[in-house]
Structure 1
Amino acid sequence: MRVTSLLRPTARCLARPTTQAIAQRQPWLRSLATSTQQTTSDKPEASGNVLAKNEQDEPRYPRSIQALYLQPLRREAEYGIPSCDLQLRSYSLRNLEFFADFALRAAYYLKLPAFGPVPLPRITERWTVPRSSFIFKKSQENFERVTLRRLVQIRDGNPETVQLWLAFLQKHAYYGIGMKANVWDFDKLGVGKTMDTIDQAAGEVIESKWSHLGQNRDLDTVKKVEEFLDKVRFDIDSDKRAEGERRFVQGRYKREEALKRKEAAAAASNADS
């Protein structure tokens, strides 16, 4: 089992939809449903025409817009084997229901059998803090935060298609929505040996990184410094090696000249004496 953790909700609670807004939306559902039945029964040839008209001689809405007012379509699962459990979290019920509907519609167009959204128990958190730090420091104030959750399950899904679905939801994520996905992958027998090989290869890569950390890290020796200076990239990028060699040769030449002058002065003093 592989667990993919995404961001938690960060937005504050928004106003919940009122009953008035719901009451205004129901006539739309009835009118769209009736107009769709009439157009399909009376004029079957106009089903593919976007500019078709209803009985009131008014242009009807396209099918894609009419689908927004209806329940999302679903695919049927043949075996019923869970492939992914997507948990949605939010502090706003409106945002949560909207994004759950969006996830179901995206799963339908990717040919993934989706089930849900299933309401999960709420997470209630409360805090009691001092009201102020001056004259109101003895009075306390209570805060409460309720996290709403929904579960969407994918069954009989291809692992690549499930990853594509999760990536699409993450790309078009809605504000104030947190997602946590549990993905199941099925592999052939003997996968444990393959995982052991991967662990050894990963351990070698990690060991080279950990050697530079901590108190027991290996100190650079003269050979490593020479290897670093001999790299072509270092010579081309910075030319610090050529500059160092020039300064080294110049310093050695100055020391040799000073030594020669000192020897000449000593010889001259011996000759005078």
Structure 2
Amino acid sequence: MVGLCAVDCQEDPGIRDGDKEPSLRNPRSLQAIHLKPLKREAQFGIPSCDLQLRSFSLQPLQFFSDFALRAAYFLGLPASGPITLPRITERWTVPRSHFIFKKSQENFERVTLRRMIQIKDGNPETIQLWLAYLRKHQFYGVGMKANMWEFGTTEMSKSLEEIEAKSLESAAPWSHLGQTKSIGDSDKVVADILNSRRVKKAADYNYPIHEIS
């Protein structure tokens, strides 16, 4: 039986090594899934966006962090991370019951895990596109919070003065809205209203209603 098994387990002598079909190589895009995400190097190192990911479970947090880094690479954004942030631990102590177990208490704990991905030297429009793509394909159980920085010109003070001047011009028609008049003028205004023809007609009960206006 041992000899028969040895003969049956041998390969067919008619099949040569050259006749075997070569195994197909997986595409590079498929191989990249099992490798670390690629990252681009920042030229100046100026922070443009900090994306903070939060979750109560580790597996979805790691998965979405990997997804965000791959999306940033293909959009041409230099990303660094994910950086592990300190955990947020919350505890609550509540009564166990409202009857005979009222004096005994029960503790509940919730631990929030956090990761941060930082984008450097990124175009604001590209960063907004990246964040919109992450919101569209957001993974369940993972929250996001982003802080963005945009840099303007050195003539920002002049533009702010122009904006302030335009706002004052637009607010001119509303200068008398609300209690903007002084107390001394209010008595005169009230007296003019009471002495007006419309108020006198309304105070006269014998006057026809359709002629008050």
- TM interval, short-chain normalised: 0.5 to 0.7
> Percent of aligned pairs with the same residue?
63
- Structure 2 residue identity aligned to 1:97: Q
Stretches (4+) displaced over 3 A: 195-205
- Structure 1, unaligned runs of 5 or more: 1-54, 217-251, 253-273
Match in the other structure for 2:25: 60
Whether 1:170 and 2:135 are equivalent positions in the alignment is yes
Secondary structure (helix, strand or coil) at the match of 1:77 reads coil
Distance in 2 separating the partners of 1:127 and 1:118: 28
Q: What value does the CA root-mean-square deviation take over the aligned residues?
A: 2.6
Deviation of the 1:196 alpha carbon: 5.0
Distance in 1 separating the partners of 2:82 and 2:145: 14
Secondary structure (helix, strand or coil) at the match of 2:132 reads helix
Match in the other structure for 1:143: 108
Deviation of the 1:94 alpha carbon: 0.5
Match in the other structure for 1:92: 57
Counting only pairs closer than 5 Å after superposition, residues 108-187 of structure 1 correspond to structure 2 as 108-187=73-152
Q: TM-score, normalising length from structure 2? A: 0.66
Q: Which one has a larger percent helix, Structure 1 or Structure 2?
A: 1
Counting only pairs closer than 5 Å after superposition, residues 102-113 of structure 1 correspond to structure 2 as 102-113=67-78
Match in the other structure for 1:266: none
- Structure 1 residue identity aligned to 2:95: P
- CA 188–143 in structure 1, closer or farther in 2 if over 3 Å, else same: same
Distance in 2 separating the partners of 1:164 and 1:176: 22
- Structure 1 residue identity aligned to 2:99: F
Distance in 1 separating the partners of 2:165 and 2:57: 46
Match in the other structure for 2:206: none
- CA 63–184 in structure 1, closer or farther in 2 if over 3 Å, else same: same
Distance in 2 separating the partners of 1:192 and 1:118: 36
Deviation of the 1:199 alpha carbon: 6.0
Residue by residue over 1:197-221, the C-alpha shift from the partner in whole angstroms, topping out at 9 and shown as x without a partner, is: 446767869x98xx8xxx98xxxxx
- CA 131–192 in structure 1, closer or farther in 2 if over 3 Å, else same: farther
- Structure 2 residue identity aligned to 1:108: Y
Whether 1:192 and 2:160 are equivalent positions in the alignment is no
Distance in 1 separating the partners of 2:155 and 2:71: 35
Secondary structure (helix, strand or coil) at the match of 2:119 reads strand
**Aligned match of 1:69 in 19, 27, 34?**
34
Deviation of the 1:77 alpha carbon: 0.9
Distance in 2 separating the partners of 1:141 and 1:78: 54
Secondary structure (helix, strand or coil) at the match of 1:185 reads coil
Distance in 2 separating the partners of 1:200 and 1:135: 70
- CA 62–142 in structure 1, closer or farther in 2 if over 3 Å, else same: same
- Structure 2, unaligned runs of 5 or more: 1-19, 180-209
Aligned residues: 157
- CA 83–140 in structure 1, closer or farther in 2 if over 3 Å, else same: same
Secondary structure (helix, strand or coil) at the match of 1:166 reads helix
- Structure 2 residue identity aligned to 1:119: T
- Structure 2 residue identity aligned to 1:153: Q
Deviation of the 1:190 alpha carbon: 2.3
Residue by residue over 1:80-139, the C-alpha shift from the partner in whole angstroms, topping out at 9 and shown as x without a partner, is: 111111111111111111011000000000000000001011110000011122222111
